Amino acid sequence: MSRNAEVIRSAFREYYFKQKSIHAPAAIDQREFGYSQFGMHGMVRHLSFKSIGELIATLVKEVPSDVYCSNALYRFPTLPMQEKQWLGADLIFDIDGKDLGLPCVPLHSYAVCAACGHASPPDDGEYSCSACGGKKADHVSIPCSKCIDGSKKEAKRLIDFMTEDLGVERQNIDAYFSGNNGFHFHVRDDSYRPLDSQARSDLVGYIAGVGLLAESVGVRKAQGGDDVFVKFPKSGLALGWRKKVADKLKIDSASIIKLGNIAKEKGGYAGFKAELDKMTREMGARIDPQVTTDVHRVFRMPGTINSKSGLAKIKCDELDSFDPFTDACLLGSAKVKVKMKTQVKFKLKGESYNLSKESAELPAYAAVYLICKGLADSA
């Protein structure tokens, strides 16, 4: 095992030995668990635990790099997938900061050469490692407060959809910081468990604002050509996407002439439909569709450490005040010497770091953060 892996593994073991943030998921004995190991490819899967104590004992013994738990319930969770006998799955969502296209990201991103591990700030041109000439790199980001605020904004939008449009009680939505650069959501509502992948895909489409018909807000295509006429649905514009679009366009059920004029200004039916698609995508929540639609997924387990950062996937009851760089930074503070690969600025546990020298002595949580990101090596 490499020296880097040894340092990270030691910090993770201490956390799992002392941890207070891991709680048993509902019906723990019907869940499939899995974990990844340091220095090894693939995942150890099809595991089952009867209690949280049994699970934590395994974490302390094995010290995995990442830990996962199925959103699905199975009659036989340790058997091969086709023999598990699926009983339903919790509804889950993932918002990843890297998918939001935030303008600040290039300012705090780095390229880590896939061949030699050399790190450097990426430029706009074609990548070429200055150390070995390698053409492939892993691009890593040190998220800033604007990144987290962007993810929080998206998270609140998702929660609004779930509570206002879908009728999920707010107390049944558990929000978690992902441990790296985003948020996860677990819906504790048994009525969603039987949904198959297609039903969940439809749900994702609704929340993301994909595929809304122009007819659903009253714009209809006249026979022959691209002309339009307006006929509002009998159920009105008071609910769901109809209300969102009506509020955006500043119309109501009496705005037949106004909506008709808007559609004509956009170029007729096709032009209005294109504008509607753009509008709803901007107003929808940007979630990872594969996470929600996969009813057999093993999802990062709450309370465990994310090996991409050394931060914990931790529950956040108050999104506005939640600070992942403090609240999710739970590793120990024993001193660790590191050799820096590039100049790095970041903030953890209220302390700002601006590391430009070749070597530094840091608290374990900060050293592990940089090593996990590929921006430093254990000295």
Per the residue annotation, which of 66, 90, 94, 377 is the catalytic one?
94
Please state the separation of Cα 265 from the chain's center in Å: 38
Count the neighbouring beta carbons within 10 Å of the beta carbon of residue 16.
22
Q: How many residues does the chain have?
A: 379
Per the residue annotation, which of 99, 202, 288, 323 is the catalytic one?
288
Active site residue 202: no
Active site residue 96: yes
- CA distance readout (Å), 348 to 131, 326, 345: 30, 6, 10
Structure tokens at 103: 């303008």
Q: Please choose, from the candidates 198, 261, 267, 194, the residue with its C-alpha nearest in 3D space to the C-alpha of residue 230.
A: 261
Q: So which residues are the catalytic ones?
A: 94, 96, 288
